[in-house]
Amino acid sequence: MAQSMTAFSREESDGLAGKLTWEIRSVNHRYKEISLRLPDELRAIEPSARGIISETIRRGRIDATLHYQSNSDSDDDERQLNTDSIQRLAQWEGQLRNYITDVVPLSAADILRWPGVLYVEAKDVDSLSERASVLLGKALEVLIHNRQREGEKLTEILSDNLLSTRSLVIDIGQQWPAVETATRNRLNSRIAEFKDQLDPDRLEQEVVLLLSKADIKEELDRLVLHIEEVGRVLASIEPIGRRLDFLMQELHREANTLGSKSTHPTITSASIDLKVLIEQMREQVQNIE
């Protein structure tokens, strides 16, 4: 089943130690890229969280943010000052004054609002980390469900466009014999003007050569094969985005060749319509895992 690479999930968990919230955004990307933002209290879970996400998501850019809000009723009296952060702020302020003399001094309120200056000693970091990992799993389940749901819609769109593409290729194939006959008649008509001046056998060879160069049967056959392969790939349960992207390139290449060979307005117009349909499918494929 096709999965979209675009989705969002948000899961919360309340406990004695505070409230945890995971927000995960997924967008299309050629490879897999994971960006994590964690509170200071839970920095230690980054390797395991990254591993959980990597095992669940195969392709796309994932932005995952964990928010932690301690229970203020129980923790207000236990908040502590992070002296390292305060010293670092003072050092930065002193260095800044070497370049800008009229810097407004930091107020106590400014310092206290700085991330990491005030913190609460975690009573049970292991328990909090376990909660965060379990909650991450739930958020990823929702994300996958949303990716699958949008993937189903993308599959429907691609299937409809694929049917239209197949129908157009069949129409071109049905029109080709008449176009080929008209092309031959036009060439024969032109050749008739010079038949007394040139070798008839040589003329026939030239007609055959010109018609073979304009023959689009091979392109039509390959278009049909690629269309059938796209339909087969869409039914696969594995990640299919890269495979579909390759097939869209092949379809576009054959459609371009067909258009360049065309010597008849009907085929030229149909080849343009074909390229439009293929481009529409290619744009949708960019969002599939």
Q: Is 14 helix (H, G, I), strand (E, B) or coil?
A: strand
> Which tokens in the block code for residue 223?
């278009």
Mean pLDDT throughout 147-176?
Answer: 93
Say what the pLDDT of residue 284 is. 94
Q: Which of 53-57, 72-76, 113-117 has the highest mean pLDDT?
A: 53-57
Domains of the chain: 151-285 (1.20.140.40)
Say what the pLDDT of residue 223 is. 95
Say what the pLDDT of residue 114 is. 76
- The residue whose two tokens read 């979209």 is 4
Tell me which residue of 222, 264, 183 sits closest to 272, measured CA to CA: 264
φ/ψ of 102, rounded to 5, equals -100, 35
Tell me which residue of 116, 120, 126 sits closest to 48, measured CA to CA: 126
Is the Cα torsion angle 260, 261, 263, 269 positive or negative in sign? negative
| Rounded Cα distance, 8 and 25, in Å | 5
Contact criterion met (CB below 8 Å) for 161 and 277: yes
> Which tokens in the block code for residue 130?
């376990």
Q: Residue 166 burial (CB < 10 Å; 0-12/13-18/19+)?
A: middle
pLDDT at 151 over 70: yes
| Rounded Cα distance, 224 and 174, in Å | 13
Beta partners for residue 83, in sequence order: none
Say what the pLDDT of residue 191 is. 66
Is beta strand 60-70 parallel, antiparallel or unpaired with respect to 118-120? unpaired
Question: Which of the 8 DSSP states describes residue 121?
Answer: -
The 10s digit of each residue's pLDDT in 21-36 is: 999 999 999 899 999 9
In Å, how far from its chain's centre is CA 262?
34
pLDDT at 138 over 70: yes
Q: Is 92 helix (H, G, I), strand (E, B) or coil?
A: helix
| Rounded Cα distance, 146 and 55, in Å | 17
| Rounded Cα distance, 79 and 76, in Å | 6
